Amino acid sequence: MSTDPSSPPALSESAPAASVDKTVAILSYVTLIGFIVALVLNSGEKKNRLGCFHLRQALGLFLVHIVGMVALVAVSLILPGFLGRIVGLGSNLFTLGMLILFVLGLIDAINGREKPVPVVGELIQQKLSGAFAS
């Protein structure tokens, strides 16, 4: 039984590489330890486009969350009484919004898509374009 050299490779040959690509993408969003494991899996010669994309998205979301929370907490401490509490409540809504963006990024990673998260995804890709370059 001969095989045609011009035919695409069998699914079993490309499946492990695709599996590692998706694993890196998914782990990017799963805690700090998952992010570090994804970095290790996506290092050196093993870099892949999907993994690099989602590493940038996850890192960018984490940084946006940290900066946003520091700003909101600082403003809530500066403003007196009721206004400070309103801004403090806003920080809870901001955290909920960031959680939703993380989940949307994770869903895209699970589906193997390179789709930026809404609102900040494109900006993250621009600002972190050199990070984790494939």
Sequence-distant (6+) residues with CB within 8 A of 64 are 98, 120, 124
pLDDT per residue as tens digits for the range 114-128? 999 999 999 998 988
> Which residue is associated with the tokens 């809504």?
93
pLDDT per residue as tens digits for the range 42-53? 887 777 888 888
pTM for this model (two decimals):
0.77
Using an 8 Å Cβ cutoff, are 22 and 112 in contact?
A: yes
Domain regions of the chain by residue span: 13-127
Q: Taking Cα atoms as reference points, which of 69, 20, 51, 31 lies closest to residue 131?
A: 51
pLDDT per residue as tens digits for the range 58-101? 999 999 999 999 998 888 888 888 887 888 888 889 999 999 99
Residue 1, SS3 per DSSP: coil
Q: Taking Cα atoms as reference points, which of 79, 96, 26, 78 lies closest to residue 54?
A: 26
Q: Which residue has the higher pLDDT, 94 or 6?
A: 94
